[in-house]
Structure 1
Amino acid sequence: MLPLTLPRASLCAAATAVLAVCSPAQAQTTHELLQELRLMQSELRAVRAELDALKRQQTLAATSAAGSTVATQKAHQTPGASTEQAAPSAVTPWAAAPALAAAEAPSSVSLFGYGELTMSRPRGNTAGAVATARRGVLGFAYRFNERTRMAAELEIENAVVSASDQGEVAFEQLYIEHDIHDRLSAKVGLFLLPVGYMNETHEPTRYFGVHRNLVETAIIPSTWRELGVGLRGTRESGLRWDAGVVTGFDLTKWSSAGSSETQASPLAAIHQEGQQAKAATLATYGALNYDGMPGLNVGGSLYNGGAGQKQPDIASPSASVTLAELHVRWQSGQWDLSALTAQGRFHDVSAFNATAPGIANPVPNLFRGWYGQAAYRLWQQGDYSLVPFVRYEQLNTALGYAGVPVGLAPSIAPDTRVWTVGASYYLHPQVVLKIDSQRYLSQSALDKLNLGVGFHF
């Protein structure tokens, strides 16, 4: 077999690039996977240029040698055994492909996903305990070339989906992304908005607590995705920015008869999720994050868009929504500290509220919340680790009502204040067992003990 004469540095770069794509342990979230692909591009281009030159000289000899190598491997392989090259996932088994073809490019297909199973028992109410396969998500990505790729995530909630069940199946993401150049990319399709910490990164191994925190569920409607076009840019200083135009919310979904959904999360109740989304008035978003110091992230985002969608059958066709948030996270040594504050406001909803005097849940003027969280890696040995944490949250989903006659407006409820104390025990960085206790101040009937298991791949 003729030896390839690539420089050692180029071979190392090629091996690193191939392993980064082929190793299942590296396929994590959609965002992280695409970031890794972008970082590999410059190295792959240089390596491929050298391979093209060598291929013209060595194609016949390399192909012949590869056939001999495959025959030798098959002759010595134990039945039922697998080799390192014949790894799981969608990559082509290297042991059955010409060596040169394997070296030219890694697989274009990647699989990833996550799952979480939970059980919650209300304080003092054993009969109210509920266990569920909360979420199962299968994601896949395909790389068309060095600059263009697609990604999708299919999610099933609560295990079973039918007309009589509480399950749901939905595309959480479905989009095309293209690198305009090395530090600027564009995406089009159904994608998660870069708002807060959990909306884009919400695998159960990546947040503390059995359930997602209340602020990034009730105020920021996790997981919040829209149809549209987005841009993402990065700078060497550690600055990352996002901007885009997307579909907005639909106020015609608001129930005036009283709804626990609207009270639990005003925006989740009118989220369109890319399903026949009304698009008479679109929305814009922008986000800025700074990661220039090791362990530190500081950022924020702003969203503004239509909710009335110019619909003739509602009294506020020009209604709109604004949502702003700020966040900070510091990871140093064994510590992981974070905080986030978010505030949303409905505009031009007075006429909508005035059309139904005495309605049980008018559209609120304002909704807001914040949390602070501290976690500490108490013990670690190999892949195992134990991380206790504590979190305090304070939020209110309805602060004031415009257009409701005096005396008919619902009373403003006090803020919901919650302490959550628990721990995550990692069997592996991608597999976690969780336990926590939630104590609702002034609402003890909501107190509960939660257990969970989560994973991602």
Structure 2
Amino acid sequence: MKKSFLAKAVLATLISGTFAAPVYAGEAELLQKIEKLAAELEAIKAELVATRKKTEVVEQKQDVMISNAAKAQAALPAAPIAPIAPIAPLASAQTNDGNNEGLHKSVQQTVVSSYGEINYTRPREASNQAQTDVARAVIGITHRFSEKTKMVAEFEWEHAVTSKDDNGESEVEQLYVEHEIKPGLSAKAGLFLIPVGFINTSHEPTAYYGVQRNFVETAIIPSTWREAGFGLSGSHDNGLSWDIGLTTGFDLTKWDANSGDGRESPLRAVHQEGQQAKSRDLSLHAAANWRGVPGLLMGGSIFSGKVGHATTDFAANDARVTLWDLHARYNPGKLDLTALYARGTISNTDALNLSFAGQPNPVPSAFAGWYLQGAYQLWKNEDYSLTPFLRYEQFNTAKSYATMPLGLGVATGPDEKVTTIGVSFKIGEGVVLKTDYQKFKQDSSRDRYNLGAGYSF
């Protein structure tokens, strides 16, 4: 095999890796990506060796056949046999220009990935409520049909046991195909994560600080939020990358004003997750990130769509959900600084909330939150690293409501303020042990100690 082809295979693998997952400023994420690229390169090398052996066997058989034909022709001079044309090499091994591009385009490979976490929580004032939870276990499969086309699937189990009598869930977290149209531009279709904030698209336990995911990116942005539809992604040499898409959205008819789910996370209470999702009203999203300075990431996103789906006798068919965020991360080396602000609105809910009069949790018209986080890699050697961190966040899932008649309104919720201090101890880049303490300003009974263990590969 020509060295030039191997170089092209390596380059194609690096390019395809760029579209397989977003690039993050953190060292851990970059090293994980390099390891995956190395595995893909080894698969390509193995394919090249196997194909070379097949080609050598064909060539040997060809030589034998030509030799036998020549002998037969010499033995029968009265009825000469036309010379046998050489057998063409394997179509997948070489094209007309002889540079093995055919093989390069036919390479297929399957990569299995996984992540999971087990957490322990102990409330400071109620130790009898301490609990341990197998929070999640995820198996991922990525199959590359060619250098330009791949399939991505992730299957998740939450809280260890799934049945009608248990709190566990089993779900398809992602299931989509992606095709590179040209270098720097790709398209995908299926069920995929919406590119908003940091954690929604990078939620492995090795990728974030703290035993639990932060509140802003779970209560305001409903991690892990995915929709079914179509998307385009692009990247440019100046460090700019972008995403746009047309997908399913939320279903406001699922809102239960007697339940506390909406107070915990308004959008999680009405998400569809690709489960026979109502699609009369579709949604649009767009996101952009800039990485033009080493260690710096700045970006934002917006998602918007109607959520009534022309439902018969529903009082809010014109309601619209809009969620946007701004975020920045600076990770030049040992220091890691992060900031994020997210705000969501649900419009045209007046008539719907009037039908909920007397119930504790009508639909909010606005919800928002933000956080600041700092971490510093205090110590690292070949096998381990120790990184303490501090995070302050403020969020409100019921920041405002649409105007209601006097005496029928519901009071807005207070801004909850949470301070989290903790440390992450990494074993290599694939395993992390975490501990932290969380202090709640509004409700001190929620103060708690957390321990956790997670992995990702």
TM range (shorter): 0.7 to 0.9
Q: Secondary structure at the match of 2:128?
A: helix
Is contact 2:107-2:145 (8 Å) kept? no
Letter in 2 for 1:285: H
1:240 counterpart residue number: 241
1:73 counterpart residue number: none
1:171 counterpart residue number: 172
Deviation (angstroms), 1:356: 2.6
Q: In 2, distance between residues paired with 1:107 and 1:280?
A: 38
Q: In 2, distance between residues paired with 1:440 and 1:38?
A: 39
Letter in 1 for 2:228: L
Deviation (angstroms), 1:180: 1.0
Q: Secondary structure at the match of 1:353?
A: helix
Give TM-score, length-normalised by structure 2.
Answer: 0.81
Distance change (3 Å), C-alpha of 1:57 and 1:210:
closer
Q: Secondary structure at the match of 2:263?
A: helix
Bigger CA radius of gyration: 2
Between 313-322 and 446-455, report the one with greater CA deviation: 313-322
1:390 counterpart residue number: 390
Give matches, 1:270-419, under 5 Å.
Answer: 270-419=270-419
Q: In 2, distance between residues paired with 1:246 and 1:299?
A: 21
Identity %: 45
Q: In 1, distance between residues paired with 2:423 and 2:35?
A: 33
Deviation (angstroms), 1:12: 5.8
Deviation (angstroms), 1:359: 2.1
Q: Secondary structure at the match of 1:332?
A: coil
Q: Secondary structure at the match of 2:206?
A: helix
Confirm whether residue 136 of structure 1 aligns to residue 137 of structure 2. Answer: yes
Q: Secondary structure at the match of 1:289?
A: strand
- The Cα offsets for residues 205-247 of structure 1, whole Å up to 9 and x where unpaired, read as 0000000000000000000000110000111111001000010
Q: In 1, distance between residues paired with 2:428 and 2:188?
A: 32
Is contact 1:30-1:151 (8 Å) kept? no
Letter in 1 for 2:142: A
Distance change (3 Å), C-alpha of 1:239 and 1:403:
same
2:202 counterpart residue number: 201
Q: Unmatched 5+ residue regions in structure 2?
A: 24-29, 63-99
Deviation (angstroms), 1:30: 5.3
Letter in 2 for 1:448: R
Deviation (angstroms), 1:335: 0.2
Q: Secondary structure at the match of 1:194?
A: coil
1:159 counterpart residue number: 160
Q: In 2, distance between residues paired with 1:19 and 1:298?
A: 23
Deviation (angstroms), 1:354: 1.2
Give matches, 1:13-92, under 5 Å.
Answer: 14=9, 58=56, 60=58
Q: Secondary structure at the match of 2:198?
A: coil
Letter in 2 for 1:243: I
1:69 counterpart residue number: none
Confirm whether residue 210 of structure 1 aligns to residue 211 of structure 2. Answer: yes
**Matched pairs, number:** 405
Distance change (3 Å), C-alpha of 1:116 and 1:165:
same
Deviation (angstroms), 1:370: 0.1
2:148 counterpart residue number: 147
Q: Secondary structure at the match of 2:223?
A: coil
Is contact 1:153-1:172 (8 Å) kept? yes
Distance change (3 Å), C-alpha of 1:237 and 1:122:
same
Deviation (angstroms), 1:165: 0.3
Deviation (angstroms), 1:124: 2.2
Distance change (3 Å), C-alpha of 1:126 and 1:148:
same
Letter in 2 for 1:417: K
Distance change (3 Å), C-alpha of 1:28 and 1:163:
farther
- The Cα offsets for residues 116-146 of structure 1, whole Å up to 9 and x where unpaired, read as 0001010121110010100000000111112
Deviation (angstroms), 1:371: 0.1
Q: Secondary structure at the match of 1:135?
A: strand
Letter in 1 for 2:244: A
